[in-house]
């Protein structure tokens, strides 16, 4: 069984379904609203757990009701270890305000709250086991991620970074990353590409080479309905997406990352790990919500066997 350590955000998701998103200054009626566990850290941790990994989450929540309820969900329903999740009494829990339109596309506003307080010293007492995977994202401070990955590398732990949402990234952080996972928009952001142009295969290869921070780093670019692209120093891999009928794309990227990290921890070859992540991402679009849509290991295996 994979052992995954996730240093990342924990949010209260508030999701409104609408026919279309409002224009500036406009108020529209929504169709429904739901509340649930979110944050890229928590989402990817749950995705990894459902994919079959043993998961320890490192993060922070506020001293409010949201924080109390989310911790109960993580410990109970999702079965994660939250021994390293801090309660911050004078801060609010992170919140994500999500709208999902009739085309199943989403727009999200994130208020970091307690996530922004996670500091390098909060990583120091995390005992990582050899052969595990350390996973993080950009909804907690970069110096904390750097400390997390330095500790991981000192103990022979594989590092996976999903630098999302896209932000300026420190070179000294990228040098600690074994697997860098971005979507197409993030790939264009980090390579200074044209966000309106998309990426051809040649463009993906050039972008991966530009993003690679050291000779052994694997760069993975998820492409939504176009599948996934990966580049190592010696080969490139392209896989098609799984054909599904999407309902809500929220959480699909997190499903990919969590399942991919689990597969890497299980010792799967890169192509099999990419296929596992792609299957998980596709399945996550077939149900509404972020955490509720994250697929189980059995569901991932079934869709892979049936394809």
Active-site residue numbers? Answer: 254
The C-alpha angle 71, 259, 56, rounded to 5 degrees, equals 35
- Residues 285 and 106: their CA atoms lie apart, in Å, by 11
Beta bridge partners of 61: 87
In which residue are the tokens 């599948």 written? 227
Burial 29-52 (b: 16+ CB within 10 A, else e): eeeeeeebbbbbbbbbbbbbbbbb
275: its two tokens: 């296929």
The C-alpha torsion from 283 through 301 and 164 to 6, rounded to 10°, is 130
* Distance (Å, whole) CA 145 – CA 150: 8
Which residue(s) pair with 32 in the sheet? Answer: 17
């Amino acid at each position: 069984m994979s052992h995954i350590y996730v240093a990342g955000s924990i949010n209260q998701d508030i999701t409104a379904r609408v026919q279309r998103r409002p224009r500036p200054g406009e108020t529209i009626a929504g169709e429904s609203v739901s509340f649930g566990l979110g944050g890229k850290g928590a989402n990817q941790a749950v995705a990894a757990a459902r994919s079959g990994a043993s998961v320890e989450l490192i993060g922070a929540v506020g001293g409010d009701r949201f924080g109390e309820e989310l911790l109960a969900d993580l410990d109970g329903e999702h079965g994660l270890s939250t021994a390293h999740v801090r309660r911050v009494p004078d801060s609010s829990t992170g919140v994500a305000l999500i709208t999902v339109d009739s085309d199943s596309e989403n727009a999200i506003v994130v208020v970091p709250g307690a996530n922004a307080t996670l500091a390098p010293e909060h990583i120091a007492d995390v005992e990582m086991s050899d052969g595990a995977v350390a996973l993080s994202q950009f909804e907690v401070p970069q110096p904390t991620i750097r400390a997390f990955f330095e500790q991981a590398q000192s103990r022979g732990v594989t590092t996976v970074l999903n630098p999302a949402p896209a932000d300026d990234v420190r070179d000294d952080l990228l040098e600690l990353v074994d697997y860098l996972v971005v979507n197409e928009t993030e790939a264009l952001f980090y390579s200074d590409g044209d966000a309106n142009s998309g990426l051809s295969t040649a463009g993906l290869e050039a972008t991966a080479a530009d993003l690679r921070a050291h000779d052994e780093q694997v760069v993975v670019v998820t492409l939504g309905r176009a599948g996934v692209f990966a580049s190592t120093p010696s080969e490139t891999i392209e896989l098609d997406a799984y054909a599904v009928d999407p309902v809500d794309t929220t959480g699909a990227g997190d499903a990919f990352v969590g399942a991919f990290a689990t597969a890497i921890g299980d010792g799967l070859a890169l192509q099999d790990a990419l296929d596992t992540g792609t299957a998980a991402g596709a399945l996550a679009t077939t149900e509404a919500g972020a955490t509720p849509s994250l697929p189980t290991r059995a569901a991932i295996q079934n869709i892979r066997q049936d394809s």
